[in-house]
Structure 1
Amino acid sequence: MKPSCLNLALISAAIAGGSSTTAVAGQQLSKLSESGKPLNVVFILSDDHRYDYMGFVGKVPWLETPAMDRMAREGAWIRNSFVTTSLSSPSRASILTGMYSHSHKVVDNSAPMPAGLTFFPEYLQQVGYQTGFFGKWHMGNDTGDPQPGFNHWESFSGQGEYYNPRLNVNGKWIRYADSTYVTDLLTTHAIEFMKQQQTSHKPFMVYLSHKGVHDNFSPAKRHKGCYSGKPLVIPPSFDTSKEKIKALPTIDPSTGKAAAGKDYYGENMLPDWVKNQRESWHGVDYSYHGRPWEDQVRNYCETLRSVDESIGSVLDYLKEAGLDENTVVIYMGDNGFAWGEHGLIDKRQFYEESVRVPMLIRSPKLIKGGQVLEKMVQNVDVAPTILACAGLDKAPQMVGYSFLPLLQGKDIPWRDRIFYEYYWEHEFPQTPTMHGVRTDRYKYIRYHGVWDTNEFYDLQEDPYETRNLIAAPQHQALIKELNHDLYNWLESTDGMSIPLKRTERPHMDHRNQSNY
């Protein structure tokens, strides 16, 4: 049996299996007590942080992230970490539920959160953990009000503010002033919560969810201008002009051989939607309605400095309090971000810079430091991994798996491909509905509802995804196989229906007025 079929069978069994949430947690109480003192967990989430914008990676020579570098040195870097949907709300819902977007139904940033979802902190509460949420929720019920699974709650409505934020603290709204910077405030409050649990001798789980580094990029005052004038890293796929494309080595569909100089701009290179988006506010030519993208990249990196300092503050506190050996710290981003690749800005696509995210884990009691994990991990694996840290089995509805055994050198069955989904949004119509599958070497992207060019890339030979091989004769059998794998995944996980949403927002678009 092929590994891909095995993984689909495991996924199907997980969905079909099971018991109630209370029973799952109850069955693990003895296991938790036998394992000694329960491990604390600190999960730190950033917004729009792409996978290779960390100092130790070396992508941006002048970028400083000493705390992330420290986590990689003392823990593990999950080099191939991906989201199942590269968009804030769907990804956050997948992190909290361990489910795919088409299953939890939070398919975009405005879709309501359906009843009946269970978040992984609820299982931790059932076995005695004190849980605290600090920061950006931005998922379904986005009012800032407390959500299930957390003993302590601090959040804001929607995107919130970088300066002088207004927080809902356990149901009471508080406005902070005097140039209070939200990243610093959330970090301070998260550490205060940990101090309280230390005195009560209770295990804790902290979910520290930063606004940074989401647009409008606003660095802390101490970092503003620190990267002014720094040279930008221009990706190989940046120039997607027709003249440039003609000079790129492409594939002649009739022979399957390289054919430099031929124009496959509309057929064998980029889909039309990519070219159209480049000419929108999410493209480098008209970025953010007139804000030069070069300046935005530097602002983004300056804003990232405070997120890194937050990680450092958490690590320092844990060490000073004598908790670092017994605490698992995980850092990741909710989705990636394009900074010029294919001429684009933003996420949503299935290109590498969009779907890959930074992920670091430090746990002296569980894993050795200095590791680099090459296996493909996804956001749906976070909940099972954190539950495993607490001695709990994953819940039956969770489709991901704990990656702790991989970091402990154990030979366990693991996925050899990942799947991707994104559903067209009313507010961001440039990007179409898409599904995709990626192996260690190949990537296939299929677009739905538009007359356009699908994509297929050999990531080993073309890591920057500059040569679309969708028409190459030598790859047709593999493309067909990946297309079948994609359908098998959707069928086995009840994902064959596009989750439509109500769109009752009035606007001046005469083409759709009759529908409102």
Structure 2
Amino acid sequence: MKLYSLVFFTFSLFFIDTGNSMPNEVAPKKKQPRNVIFILTDDHRYDYMGFTGKVPWLETPNMDKLAREGAYLSNAFVTTSLCSPSRASILTGMFSHSHTIVDNQAPDPGNLTYFPQYLEKAGYQTSFFGKWHMGDHGDEPQPGFTHWESFPGQGVYYNPTLNINGERISYKDSTYITDLLTDHAIGWLEKRDRKKPFFMYLSHKAVHAGFQPAKRHKGKYKGKRIDLPTTYEQTKTGAYRDLKWPQWVADQRVSWHGVDYMYHENRDIHEMVVDYCETLLGVDESIGTVMDYLKREGLDESTLVIYMGDNGFSWGEHGLIDKRHFYEESVKVPLLVRCPELFQGGIRPEQMVQNIDIGPTVLAEAGVKQPEHMPGTSFIPILTGENNENIRKEVFYEYYWEYDFPMTPTVFGMRTDKYKYMKYHGIWDRNELYDLENDPEEMYNLIADPDKQEIAKSMSAAIYDWLEETGGMQIPLKRTVKYRFGDYKHKNEH
């Protein structure tokens, strides 16, 4: 791969094995290493917070306060809208085709370095609490964390079992996972070594399906309804043909990820949204608990707090629910950042950032040199108003077809402030091009418009350039371990 080859031949500050490489040097620190708390949630879409006004009855006072006292980056994107690939991109700072954890089953290849490893080497005490779920990995402690608490896979909302530094402890009596992880995180902060900087990674299971709120929140929004999106009806009425949408979008309406058969249940979409929003309330309270602790300790001005979702979520747009696709509600995530010592609060930068920027941002604040294999960049200059020549002019996206969820095809995409282009593979269907300035709901596919052919051509070429430059021209296939009924005879014969 070209990017890794560059590391081989330049012999920079890293070992030749770029996957497991560790920096031989730590960049000179111009200031004290900053304490950092990173809070990650699951399936939280970018605009489902009280202050955005998207859902008028949704109350998230602690997220609202975080945005008011810090920054809400309204154009934050993931590189792949799926749990494991996104989490791997956050931890490694690489695209899915580079780290190769391309879906929720693809295993860790064993040659990856997570950015907390660099922090640990630089003298940080580090901790991880919650959902790891990278590929087929279980709950075992991972490198880069001096303290570890996790569970296998998706975990459960009630009565979980945690692997705490190698010892599994089960909890009963309706113990709620969001509360448990928060309590343990605060406990670790209280017992930490005050002489060392800290990095804490609080990774919630919420708000992943099937949604289960804390008992104290159950029923709070009963009977509430959302305004269904403009594109909700198009695949049902056949209007998608006039709008030139791909056929796979219409076909998916009655699938696991379609609004007419959501998760193979006959549930009302409004009821499911209520469950989702009630589950989110526990996360909001978790944020409040963490911020209250920092204030009590006199750390709230100097600590960099980052809140983010691992992917977005559709609630009826284009007749879809869930994620994976490259439509805005799937690929955009909430990104709230607060650090009064660094920047003034109450700002809403519109510059595009991605999940691969988390590692570089944290490392920069720790005074640690960014590894060569991380293509992202710190977004702190966006918040401080400094001149930043690395501000993104586009973001790239990739999603690889999954055996268990075959309704969504492989897609490579590119988004600028003006246009979005989606290029599908392995399916006989049309690509998509949207004018985001004039059509933010992505309703009118312009892929066949005569006056948009040069734009489509140039964006397609840019996607190939990106893939070539980052070693992504070969789809990283993974062994399939599940068989359909008709496959067994074939399997046994060979």
Shared fold, TM over 0.5: yes
From 256, 270, 275, give the equivalent of 1:281. 256
CA distance in 2 between counterparts of 1:16 and 1:348 reads: 36
Match of 1:259 in 2: none
Alignment of 1:119-138 (within 5 A): 119-138=114-133
Match of 1:65 in 2: 60
CA distance in 2 between counterparts of 1:20 and 1:11 reads: 11
Work out whether residues 15 and 493 of structure 1, in 8 Å CA contact, stay in contact via their aligned partners in 2.
no
Residues 23-65 of structure 1, C-alpha deviations (whole Å, 9 max, x = no match): 9755336x23x413x2111000000000010111110001111
Q: How far apart are residue 14 of structure 1 and its match?
A: 7.9
Match of 1:188 in 2: 183
CA distance in 1 between counterparts of 2:351 and 2:478 reads: 35
Aligned-partner SS, 2:263: helix
CA pair 388-513 structure 1, distance change in 2 beyond 3 A: farther
CA distance in 2 between counterparts of 1:211 and 1:362 reads: 22
CA distance in 1 between counterparts of 2:212 and 2:133 reads: 19
CA distance in 1 between counterparts of 2:235 and 2:320 reads: 12
Match of 2:31 in 1: 35
Q: How far apart are residue 140 of structure 1 and its match?
A: 2.7
CA pair 232-244 structure 1, distance change in 2 beyond 3 A: farther
Work out whether residues 3 and 373 of structure 2, in 8 Å CA contact, stay in contact via their aligned partners in 1.
no
Match of 2:414 in 1: 437
CA distance in 1 between counterparts of 2:346 and 2:6 reads: 35
Match of 1:5 in 2: none
Residues 109-151 of structure 1, C-alpha deviations (whole Å, 9 max, x = no match): 0000012100000000011101000000000352111111100
Is 1:466 the counterpart of 2:443? The answer is yes
* Amino acid in structure 2 at the alignment position of 1:284: V
Structure 2 alignment gaps of length 5 or more: none
CA pair 23-98 structure 1, distance change in 2 beyond 3 A: closer
From 311, 322, 328, give the equivalent of 1:346. 322
CA distance in 2 between counterparts of 1:14 and 1:51 reads: 35
Match of 1:499 in 2: 476
Match of 2:219 in 1: 225
CA distance in 1 between counterparts of 2:21 and 2:400 reads: 35
CA pair 118-239 structure 1, distance change in 2 beyond 3 A: same
Match of 1:366 in 2: 342
* Amino acid in structure 1 at the alignment position of 2:216: R
Residues 187-237 of structure 1, C-alpha deviations (whole Å, 9 max, x = no match): 01011111112x542211100000000011000001001011112121111
Aligned-partner SS, 2:461: helix
What TM-score, normalized to structure 1?
A: 0.90
Residues 230-276 of structure 1, C-alpha deviations (whole Å, 9 max, x = no match): 12121111112463617xxxxxxxxxxxxxxxxx35xx522111111
Residues 421-458 of structure 1, C-alpha deviations (whole Å, 9 max, x = no match): 00000000000001010100100101001101110000
CA distance in 2 between counterparts of 1:208 and 1:275 reads: 38
Alignment of 1:192-203 (within 5 A): 192-197=187-192, 200-203=194-197
* Amino acid in structure 2 at the alignment position of 1:324: D
Residues 446-488 of structure 1, C-alpha deviations (whole Å, 9 max, x = no match): 1001101110000111100111111001100111010110110
CA distance in 1 between counterparts of 2:402 and 2:100 reads: 14
Match of 1:252 in 2: none
Question: In percent, how many aligned pairs have the same letter?
Answer: 58
CA distance in 1 between counterparts of 2:38 and 2:176 reads: 20
CA pair 242-364 structure 1, distance change in 2 beyond 3 A: closer
Match of 1:482 in 2: 459
Is 1:100 the counterpart of 2:98? The answer is no
CA pair 15-416 structure 1, distance change in 2 beyond 3 A: farther
Q: How far apart are residue 20 of structure 1 and its match?
A: 1.8
* Amino acid in structure 1 at the alignment position of 2:150: S
Work out whether residues 235 and 249 of structure 2, in 8 Å CA contact, stay in contact via their aligned partners in 1.
no
Match of 2:106 in 1: 111
**What do you get for the CA RMSD once the two structures are aligned?**
2.0
From 142, 146, 152, give the equivalent of 1:147. 142
Work out whether residues 47 and 54 of structure 2, in 8 Å CA contact, stay in contact via their aligned partners in 1.
yes
CA distance in 1 between counterparts of 2:62 and 2:35 reads: 19
Aligned-partner SS, 1:386: helix
Work out whether residues 122 and 368 of structure 2, in 8 Å CA contact, stay in contact via their aligned partners in 1.
no
CA pair 76-277 structure 1, distance change in 2 beyond 3 A: same
CA distance in 2 between counterparts of 1:513 and 1:270 reads: 38
Work out whether residues 105 and 136 of structure 2, in 8 Å CA contact, stay in contact via their aligned partners in 1.
no
Alignment of 1:172-187 (within 5 A): 172-187=167-182
From 77, 83, 87, give the equivalent of 2:78. 83
CA pair 23-84 structure 1, distance change in 2 beyond 3 A: closer
What TM-score, normalized to structure 2?
A: 0.94
CA pair 282-141 structure 1, distance change in 2 beyond 3 A: closer
Query: 130-139 vs 408-417, which deviates more?
Result: 408-417
CA pair 368-462 structure 1, distance change in 2 beyond 3 A: same
Is 1:50 the counterpart of 2:45? The answer is yes
Residues 291-313 of structure 1, C-alpha deviations (whole Å, 9 max, x = no match): 33221111000000000111111
CA distance in 1 between counterparts of 2:419 and 2:470 reads: 22
Query: 50-59 vs 15-24, which deviates more?
Result: 15-24
CA distance in 2 between counterparts of 1:242 and 1:203 reads: 55
From 376, 380, 386, give the equivalent of 1:404. 380
Work out whether residues 11 and 399 of structure 1, in 8 Å CA contact, stay in contact via their aligned partners in 2.
no
CA distance in 1 between counterparts of 2:483 and 2:412 reads: 29
* Amino acid in structure 2 at the alignment position of 1:234: L
Residues 63-97 of structure 1, C-alpha deviations (whole Å, 9 max, x = no match): 11111111111111111000000000000000000
CA pair 512-453 structure 1, distance change in 2 beyond 3 A: farther
Aligned-partner SS, 1:284: coil
* Amino acid in structure 2 at the alignment position of 1:353: E
Query: 135-144 vs 382-391, which deviates more?
Result: 135-144
Equivalences, count: 484
Structure 1 alignment gaps of length 5 or more: 1-8, 247-263
Q: How far apart are residue 511 of structure 1 and its match?
A: 6.3
CA distance in 1 between counterparts of 2:465 and 2:9 reads: 16
Q: How far apart are residue 393 of structure 1 and its match?
A: 2.1
CA distance in 1 between counterparts of 2:207 and 2:43 reads: 6
Residues 301-360 of structure 1, C-alpha deviations (whole Å, 9 max, x = no match): 000000011111100100011111221100000000001000101100000000000001
CA pair 507-388 structure 1, distance change in 2 beyond 3 A: same
Residues 4-34 of structure 1, C-alpha deviations (whole Å, 9 max, x = no match): xxxxx999978976322799755336x23x4
Q: How far apart are residue 514 of structure 1 and its match?
A: 2.6
